[in-house]
Amino acid sequence: MNKQQTLQHYFGHQNFREQQEEVIDSILNHQDVLMILPTGGGKSLCYQLPSLLMDGVTVVVSPLLALMHDQVVALKENGISAEMLSSIQTIEESKLIEQALYNNQIKLLYVAPERLMNNYFLTFLMDLNINFFVIDEAHCVSEWGHEFREHYRMLSQLKISFPNTTITAFTATATTIVKEDILSNLQLKNPKVVTGSLFRENLTITAQHRQSDGRRQLTHFLKEHEGEMGIVYAFSRKQTEATATYLQKQGYKAQAFHAGLPTDVKKKVYHDFVSDEINIVVATIAFGMGIDKSNIRFVVHMNLPKTLENYYQEIGRSGRDGLDATTLLLFSASDVVQQKSFIDELPDSPYKENAYEKINTIARFSDSESCRHQQIATYFNDTIEACGNRCDNCLYPDKNSIDITQDAQKLLSAIYRTKQSFGIHYVIDVLRGSKEQRILTNTHDQLTVYGIGEHHSKAQWLTIADKLLELGAIGIGEYRVYYLTDRGVGILKGAELVSIREERMVVKKAKSKKKVTYFDDYEVEIFDKFRALRKEIATINKVPPYVVFSDKTLKELSNVMPSNKNEMLDVHGIGEVKFERYGEAFLVLIEEINNV
């Protein structure tokens, strides 16, 4: 088979996406490659397809067991011989895979970098016919990257051990310094460097100043995404569990996921999510990197991520099937203070300076008023036009500002009159006239500022405090005690006015809204029937539903309603192998629907 026939037969696609064929041709010509392409852009096909057209086995280096497992399952479902060697296999299973490799029965072998750089394994590989190496998530190579891994750095030895074997590297993000570090460390020879556009046109990016703990905003957002799959990222393990419990009480199928959970619990949560048994996973960032699930419709951040690279990688886990997806970033000035407090503990070094700059960059991004897609592209040295309708700043450019100088002065005065010795919640309680015993004991109910802030809710006062933090008018000291800066003193004395976007002072109440549907060009009932059949087939075959057919494939099926094999093979994502396994069941269902 040629490239086009292979694309249709194994992957069910009629045409290559932009830049895929260019990379495939380079690999077939034994040229080293570095490809930087956003998540969902089709990087995996760029190395999976040429492997099928070449003699020998392709060795894929991947950072997470879950990611390797999902890709191997998906390849096998497409009729492609693939295996992974990892700690989860028994010695007997590993020996069988090694024998199959000796017998040229495997086309793609997935391994972690720790195993690849093991002396025994390197020696074993030298006896195989390796057509090329793939370094997936290649940004992990760079110490300037956001997910640096020491064992990835050791991959520099590959060119020494296999000087005549092609090495290809793939990543979704890389700044200029990270890109140069990847090229240098992997010692790529005259590489083909291909960089795709950073613009994810199916992704709508929104950001809001977090009000209080953000739960009200989260619930408001989720009301518009009923029944959809999504990830909610939280800062700490404790926050993931608390948020998941809160969502469960609100009636959502949500579970927490973090590194501190028992292994069996993590496996169950992961399995339930990829199998569509639960809709929402509330997780630390450790969760998302191993997700190859195509039908994630939203990603929410409850806190500011550490870097813009982290943020772009994490929101990229939604909408991998090319259908519309939405992201929400909730942030607060206190997030920046918290992140910087961790950086403060590091020894002085260029890395520490870089970490400060990265947190400042993501802080500016979150509070900006220009196109968010354009800002991300600029950060990664790409140039694009403003998105127009795929971020909140482009959708709602004219946001009204209101004067809050008097309220800011009240808050500053309350901080000062409580001797700059308390946390912000206590100060706000004084402003709002709380009868809490601690306030009475401290006689702060006798202060002139006591009770003068009853006209605002606590969440609104926290928003005003956030604004003052952003302006550098107040600071947070040891034990999270708030104090006035010189600028704060100036505002208190009337030397400067303070304004804020009106929307930040509006406390939104969660209410039921019309469900957002990403398939408005078909009957929802038909899609639900297809999805039920997909779930049934997936359960029988013990694979995730999206491995059977993606949501995008089901959408197209609902539009086309094919009546035979040839018509079904014209549908995105359905090749010969997938049709032989699942096609007849869907044709029977389509006939039943048509006969109703």
Write down the residue that tokens 């956001």 correspond to. 146
Q: How far apart are CA 520 and CA 523, in angstroms?
A: 8
Phi/psi-derived region of residue 388, left when phi > 0, alpha when psi is between -120 and 50, beta in every other case? left
> Which pLDDT score is estimated for 514?
39
Q: Which residues pair with 299 in a beta bridge?
A: 231, 327
Name residue 233's beta-bridge partners.
283, 301
> Residue 232 forms beta bridges with which residues?
282, 300
For residues 497 and 556, which has the higher predicted lDDT (pLDDT)? 497
pLDDT given at position 111: 95
593 class by beta-carbon count within 10 Å (0-12 exposed, 13-18 middle, 19+ buried): middle
pLDDT of residue 459: 84
The string of pLDDT tens digits covering residues 171-195 is 988 888 889 999 999 999 999 999 9
Distance between CA atoms of 136 and 327, rounded to whole angstroms? Answer: 25
Report d(CA 349, CA 74) in Å as an integer.
Answer: 43
Report residue 503 as tokens.
């929307």
pLDDT tens digits for range 344-354: 888 888 778 88
pLDDT digits (tens, 9 = 90+) for 291-327: 668 889 999 999 999 899 889 989 988 998 889 999 9
pLDDT digits (tens, 9 = 90+) for 412-421: 999 999 999 9
Q: Say how far residue 301 (Cα) sits from the centre of its chain.
A: 9
For residue 332 the two structure tokens come to 């607060």
pLDDT number for residue 519: 45
CA 437 to chain centre: 44
- Environment class of 92 (CB within 10 Å of its CB; exposed 0-12, middle 13-18, buried 19+): exposed
- Phi, psi angles (nearest 5°) of residue 24: -60, -45
Please identify which residue in the block is written with the tokens 């852009």: 41
Amino acid at 423: G
Q: What residues does 273 pair with on adjacent strands?
A: none
Per-residue pLDDT, averaged over 236-245, amounts to: 93
Q: What is the pLDDT of residues 242-282, one digit of tens each?
A: 999 999 999 999 999 988 888 889 889 988 998 899 999 99
162 close to 134: Cβ distance less than 8 angstroms: no
95 has a pLDDT exceeding 90: yes
Residue type, 331: F
Render the burial of 409-424: b for 16+ CB within 10 Å, e for the rest: bbbbbbbbebeeebeb
The pLDDT value given to residue 286? 60
Which own/partner pairs from 429-434 qualify as long-range (CB within 8 Å, at least 24 positions apart)? Answer: 429/458, 431/461, 432/456, 432/458, 432/461
Give the C-alpha separation, 373 to 85, whole Å.
38
SS3 297: strand
Task: Delineate the domains of the chain, giving CATH numbers in brackets.
Answer: 3-195 (3.40.50.300), 203-395 (3.40.50.300), 405-497 (1.10.10.10), 524-595 (1.10.150.80)
Cα–Cα dist 150/96, whole Å: 30
Q: Kindly provide the b/e burial profile for residues 233-266, where b requires at least 16 CB atoms within 10 angstroms of the residue's own CB.
A: bbbebebbbbbbebbbeeebebbbbbeebeeeeb
Which tens digit of pLDDT belongs to each residue from 407-459? 999 999 999 999 999 999 999 999 999 999 999 999 999 999 999 999 999 88
Q: What is the mean pLDDT of the chain?
A: 89
Pairing state of beta strands 57-61 and 130-135?
Answer: parallel
DSSP 316-367: TTS-TTSS-EEEEEEE-HHHHHHHHHHHHTSPSSHHHHHHHHHHHHHHHHHT
Q: Which of 104-113, 168-177, 338-347, 510-519 has the lowest mean pLDDT?
A: 510-519
Identify the weakest region by mean pLDDT among 86-100, 145-159, 363-377: 145-159
Give the pLDDT band of residue 596 (cuts 50, 70, 90): low
Give the model's pLDDT for residue 516: 39
Nearest to 448 by CA among 462, 427, 431: 431
